[in-house]
Amino acid sequence: MAFDLDSLVRPNIRDLVPYSSARGEFTGGAEIFLDANENSFGSLIDVDYSRYPDPLQTRLKRRIADLNEVDPTNIFVGHGSDEAIDLLMRIFCEPGRDSILICPPTYGMYEVSAAINDVSVIRVPLADGFELDTNAVLQAVTDRTKLIFLCSPNNPTGNSIGREEMLRLAASFAGIVVIDEAYIHFAKQPSLLSELSDLPNLVVMQTLSKAWGLAALRVGFAFAATQITRYLNAVKPPYNVSRPAQEIALRALNEADPARRVVAEIASEREKMARRLAELPVVRKVFRSDANFLLVRFDEPNEIYRILLEKGIVVRNRSSVAKCEGCLRITVGTAAENDAVLTALRNL
């Protein structure tokens, strides 16, 4: 594999002179800040948010670096991981010319982001058991394929993708391989973060939206070689993560351990829910899940979806997605919420 990052990057991005923000240009100590046209009289409410936030999220990155045993320069913090998906496309994919490759059924944002950026999408479906078909992927890429997106554990199927297959793909592909680990805390399989130093073309995405229970905050991470994070930081909007988001994220990373709550409660609810769903006559199949949701196949998915909705229960209808025919994706809720689902389905 001949990996040359600079030749993958769009020429306009390679030549980009990033926006230099007031707070980014300043170094050293000062007491009077008249550089950014902020309101020195403070905010019009009883908390003070009158100052722009740290554009490089220095404190937050230091904490994430410690927790994940990477260097702060290997971290990009985004307005959710959705921002990282979009920025990667804008850095690497020439609109109207380049392509990304995805393995459906998978997370819908990769395609939407590609469509927004006028980037074409090569689809290599997951094989039986929702496994990665590495050889088919390697055959399908062209010299214009810049990014391969894999999701592990995968949304909406719930399974983890084989670690060795993902590593083989990354080692054999001359473009960027993005592993979306939004659900990694729910899985037994470890993160691919440990492989970052060996694979210059690997990007690992994680988020505070799932295991950390902070979806409203909009904070996601992309971990990669410094060469790649440098580009992400150059193209991002200067103040992409708000000060309250940085502060609350830092507080969570200092105080909380998702492993405890996630392993003890959500994973055990998931297993309990999977067993009980499988006993119901209306259920055809419950797919094994390493995430905080279950993909469940019904004979009459649209009918089931409607009945649950009538009881005030919203699930995700994936029944029209190829390879997910008949399936609803049900997030694992609290014990009471899961009981409500089971009760509704039992009374049919």
Contact positions toward ligand PLP, by CB under 6 A?
80-82, 107, 151, 155, 180, 182, 207, 209-210, 215, 220
- Residue 156: CB minimum distance to ligand PLP, A: 8
Between 52 and 107, CB nearer to ligand PLP: 107
Q: State the residue number with the nearest CB to ligand PLP.
A: 80
DSSP assignment of 153-186: SPTTT-PPPPHHHHHHHHHH-SSEEEEE-TTGGG
Nearer to ligand PLP, 117 or 135 (CB): 117
Tell me whether residue 82 or residue 98 sits nearer to ligand PLP (CB atom): 82
CB of 77 to ligand PLP, least distance (A): 11
Determine how many CB atoms are found less than 10 A away from the CB of residue 263: 15
Q: Shortest approach of ligand PLP to residue 50 CB, angstroms?
A: 27
Write down the least CB distance from residue 287 to ligand PLP, Å. Answer: 16
Ramachandran region of residue 292, left (φ > 0), alpha (ψ -120 to 50) or beta? alpha
In angstroms, what CA-CA distances link 192 with 110, 165, 180, 286, 308? 20, 12, 10, 27, 37
What is the identity of the amino acid at 71?
Answer: D
Q: Where are the alpha helices (DSSP H) in the chain?
A: 5-8, 11-14, 22-25, 58-68, 81-92, 109-116, 134-140, 163-172, 226-235, 243-255, 258-261, 267-278, 301-310, 335-346
Is 262 in a helix, a strand, or coil? helix
Whole-number Å distance between alpha carbons of 282 and 301? 9
- Cβ atoms of 220 and 205 within 8 Å: the answer is yes
Distance of closest approach, residue 210 Cβ to ligand PLP, in angstroms: 6
Residue closer to ligand PLP, measured from CB, 9 or 267: 267
Q: What is the 3-state secondary structure (H, E, C) of 12-33?
A: HHHCCCCCCCHHHHCCCCCCCC
Question: In this complex, which beta carbon is closest to ligand PLP, that of residue 9 or of residue 207?
Answer: 207
Give the residue with the Cβ less far from ligand PLP, 75 or 345.
75
Given the complex with ligand PLP, which of 216 and 259 has the nearer CB atom? 216
Nearest Cα to Cα of residue 253 among 64, 72, 58 = 64
Nearer to ligand PLP, 9 or 78 (CB): 78
Q: Least separation, in Å, of the C-beta of 61 and ligand PLP?
A: 16
Query: Whole-angstrom Cα distance, residue 80 to residue 219?
Result: 4
C-beta of 113 vs 155, nearer to ligand PLP: 155
- Angstrom CA distances, 287 to 79, 270, 277, stand at 31, 11, 11
237 three-state secondary structure: coil
Q: How far is the CB of 31 from ligand PLP (least distance, A)?
A: 37
Cβ 106 to ligand PLP, closest distance in Å? 7
- Shortest distance in whole angstroms from residue 220 CB to ligand PLP: 3
